[in-house]
A and B are shown apart, each in its own frame.
Chain A
Amino acid sequence: MKKRDKKDKNENIKKANTIREKPVKEKEQKETSENEAVSFKYELFSEVIVKNPVLVSTIGLCPVVAICTSLKSAVVLSIITYFTMIFSQIISASVLKHCPQWARVALYALSGMAIVAPSMLLLENVLPENMIALGIYLPLLAVNPLITRQCERVAVKSTVKQAFVNAVSCSTGYAAVLIITGFVRELLGSGTLWDYRVFSFPTATALTNPFGGFIVIGFMAAILRWYFKKIDPEYAEDLAVNSRSSIKKPKVKKSQKHKKAHVSSMTYEPQEYLPHQEEVTTQESVQEEIPAEESHQEDEQNLTETFEQALAENTTHIDNSEEQILEIQLEPQIKEIVQEETKANKKIEYTSKELEDLMSKSLEDIIKDTIKETPQEPDADKEVPKQ
């Protein structure tokens, strides 16, 4: 009987612990998912707007200017870019981390080809006209420098999950430019949209040539610059100065960098991201070179530090609010545990006779009796009436 009671008590404590642990686990899960959501938003905004591969970093221009002459081609290219980028980055993050850098570059091309070749076969059967339109530019996606750059700078230094997030964000930035370019060039160059005639006015057929592509992305880059200027003039000016030429690239002191990173972390807002706070990390534009890897590694480190700091602040905020909620949720369970512990301590004071009586009683009766015996303490939370 005694053993049984002990067993029951242990089970009760276990249950209480489980109830106590459950919200903690839920809290951790919730925290992680919130952090991930913030991280994804941040990455997406950074890759699509602040560090747009085409308009800011001037990378992967070939398909944009050469074959994005229609919306259909742009969409097909975007889809293939998504798959190629995600596949290459996941392979890099999971398998190629220990390969030497010179060998990795070749493997990126191979992994790119692993996606591009089946896509070509599929397109040949499903959309043969589109395949002809894409011509030799589609297989060239396998050696798109954008994929090589992202794999080398991000994927090999991060986890598979991070690489996936980056691949999706970067591809979205690239696809956005592809689709807008395709849309504008098809509309103004051919007067059609998705092969349907929109207007019969004379069209600027010149836009379907590669120089038309350069003009369109030139205007898109100017619009992006205007947007930066509107939200952060200093950042726009820095971008203009740095993209003009690397000959007079201003050197930012390390201390300043850290200062800026700190400032950015202090004012971090996922919804209202201010590009200037990332100026050190986004001075890529024209002179962003693969040989200048060191400076980029530093920049990326800063970016990571900034982001981590910002996240920490955000997390602290979540902690404070959630702890309160947790306390409120846990209050009855904690009280129960405390009561049970009090009973357990009290039990030691019992005499043998009392113990015999207790043995004959059920556990519930014992608890009831103990509660009756325990004088009710004034609730600490209750306000003491003013005298």
Chain B
Amino acid sequence: MNMILQFFSAALYIVFVQNLVFSGGYGASEAIRTAARPKQLALFAVMITYFSTTTSLLCRLIWLIPVFKTAGTTIAIVMFVLVLIVVYLITALIILKMLKGAGWRQEEKDKLLRQAGVSAFNTIVLAVPFISQRVAYTVSESIGAGIGAGFAFILATLLIHEGMKKLESNEEIPNCFKGTPAVFIYIALLSMAFTGFSGKTLFF
């Protein structure tokens, strides 16, 4: 029961209180680019969730080994990156093997693998094991944080997408701010709201 509570609390914290995209800027560029093409959101979100959860869990488990516990921050960081690389390569090989006889076209295979690459080597994915290690999350919390990262990304992308649609139809925006500048300012406002949730001092 305690583990389930820990799992949900970590996930909800990452999604709402400390939304990784808005409060930390992790994966912000990918969120903006996915918001411009929402059709890719589902696949992208699933992959981000998968990679962040797997990496976070594996890093947490490795971190339980006494040798790594005493190692410095740099060693830990190198280990996290190596774990992510191994997870990605194994996933890519599995995808290749699965698609071998599935009758997929080469272009489709390449596209899927490219998506996997972009979602795996992303700041939001690598940030989860770092945060887990810093805050000393338990195993269940690490899983919760990994899944929460995926949902935080979905929430951020959907909010940005909605904002983009509104900004697109708004003719009162000054010409110089149309497009990317307006999107940045809009994200700044959302980010301000989420920072407010975390209890930080906003002004003065």
**Which residues in A have some Cβ–Cβ distance to B below 8 Å?**
55-56, 58-66, 101-103, 105-106, 108-110, 113, 116-117, 120-121, 124, 136, 139-140, 142-145, 148, 202, 204-206, 209-215, 217-219, 221-223, 225-226, 229, 236, 239-246, 285-291, 293
Contacts and interface: CB of A to CB of B under 8 A. Distances in A.
10 contacts: A105-B88, A120-B74, A121-B74, A145-B122, A214-B188, A215-B188, A225-B178, A225-B181, A285-B179, A290-B114
Contacts of A102: 92, 96, 113-114, 116-117
Contact of B180 (A124, A229, A243, A246): A243
Interface stretch (B76-84, B138-146, B148-156): B76-84
A219 B92 CA distance: 40
B19 to A, nearest CB: 10
Interface of B: 22-30, 32-33, 35-37, 40, 73-74, 77-78, 80-81, 84-85, 88-89, 92, 96, 110-111, 113-118, 120-123, 125-127, 130-131, 134, 164-165, 167-168, 174-185, 187-189, 191-192, 195, 200-204
Contacts of B183: 58, 218, 243, 286
B interface majority secondary structure: helix
Contacts of B125: 143
B30 A145 contact: yes
B107 to A, nearest CB: 9
B178 A136 contact: no
B161 to A, nearest CB: 9
A140 B192 CA distance: 23
B4 to A, nearest CB: 28
B25 A229 contact: no
A206 B25 contact: no
B114 A110 contact: no
A135 to B, nearest CB: 9
Given A218-B185, A244-B164, A293-B114, A229 B175 contact: yes
A211 B189 contact: yes
Nearest to B174: A222
Nearest to B170: A244
Contact of B179 (A242, A289, A293): A242
Contacts, number: 218
Given A120-B73, A209-B200, A210-B23, A286 B36 contact: yes
Contacts of A60: 29
A290 B36 CA distance: 13
Contact of B121 (A108, A221, A243, A244): A108
Nearest to A215: B188
A105 B192 CA distance: 34
A202 B204 contact: yes
A258 to B, nearest CB: 25
B141 to A, nearest CB: 17
Contacts of B189: 211
B181 A62 contact: no
B117 A145 contact: no
B195 A244 contact: no
Contact of B74 (A64, A106, A117, A219): A117
A248 to B, nearest CB: 8
A209 B88 contact: no
A136 B76 CA distance: 11
B160 to A, nearest CB: 10
B88 A206 contact: no
Nearest to A108: B121
B114 to A, nearest CB: 6
